[in-house]
Amino acid sequence: MTDLCAEDLAAIYPKPTPRVIAKARPSIDAHAKKFIEMSPFCVLATSGADGSVDASPRGGSIGFVHVAGPNQLLMPDRSGNNRIDSFKNVVEGSGFVHLLFFVPGIDETLRVGGRGTLSADPDLLAAMVEFGKPPRAVLNVAVSEVYFHCGKALMRSKLWSPDVKVQRSVMPSISQVIHDQTSLGEPEGQDAVEARYKTQL
């Protein structure tokens, strides 16, 4: 297998249209704001000092990421695995972040990029209580690029279609998977995992 180079890409892919280039906006407009306010889920991508890239899922109630202004997003951090790979990248790496927002039922997605900083200001944390708990920190994104992706990828995947939804029982619980991979801890069934999750949201 031969790796492609930049010249190969130029030969394979036509140039994007002016409209595709122009859709990348420098700030959050009314359409992007509405989309973010409807979104209960996004993927956060960050880059480390060593050039590594991390992408992690983030979720909450609808509109859990707050639009604080046309160039500012505030995302509360909820309980997770405490690896904090994303946040280490923010404070030790490039500081560049990208968020990809999803809204269930809508095939288009929204990409937002900028530079991130972290805050643990008590007043800010107190203003972002969800699931009965304040966040442990808040990601503050200075937004510099915003654009909508077309719906082709989600249409191809039929992501929102009940026809492709699988039963959870086809996979072992995450606890069992990690036990099999590491031999650490005691494996739990899916019911126990979900019950524990509900106490840690």
- 87 and 179 in a single domain? The answer is no
Residue 143's domain spans which residues? 6-160
- 170 and 115 in a single domain? The answer is no
pLDDT score for 201: 77
- 77 and 18 in a single domain? The answer is yes
User: Do the bridges between strand 96-102 and strand 66-69 make them parallel or antiparallel, or are there none, so unpaired?
Assistant: unpaired
- 154 and 191 in a single domain? The answer is no
Q: Which residues pair with 130 in a beta bridge?
A: 133
**Where does residue 191 rank: exposed (0-12), middle (13-18), buried (19+ CB within 10 A)?**
exposed
How many folded domains does the chain comprise? 2
- 133 and 190 in a single domain? The answer is no
pLDDT score for 108: 98
- Closest of 70, 71, 66 to residue 128, by C-alpha: 66
Exposed e or buried b for every residue in 33-59, given b needs 16+ CB within 10 A? bebbebbbbbbbbbbbeeeeebebebe
Q: What is the pTM of this model?
A: 0.93
Is 1 within a domain? Answer: no
Is 80 within a domain? Answer: yes
The torsion angle over the Cα atoms of residues 31, 27, 70 and 112, rounded to 10 degrees, is 80
Are 100 and 37 in contact by the 8 Å Cβ rule? The answer is no
- Closest of 190, 172, 196, 168 to residue 81, by C-alpha: 196
pLDDT digits (tens), the chain, 201 positions:
899 999 999 999 999 999 999 999 999 999 999 999 999 999 999 999 998 999 999 999 999 999 999 999 999 998 888 889 999 999 999 899 999 999 999 999 999 999 999 999 999 999 999 989 999 999 999 999 999 999 999 999 999 999 999 999 999 999 999 999 999 999 999 999 899 888 887
Going by the DSSP 8-state scheme, the letter that residue 166 receives in this structure is: -
Rg of the chain in Å (alpha carbons)? 19
- 131 and 174 in a single domain? The answer is no
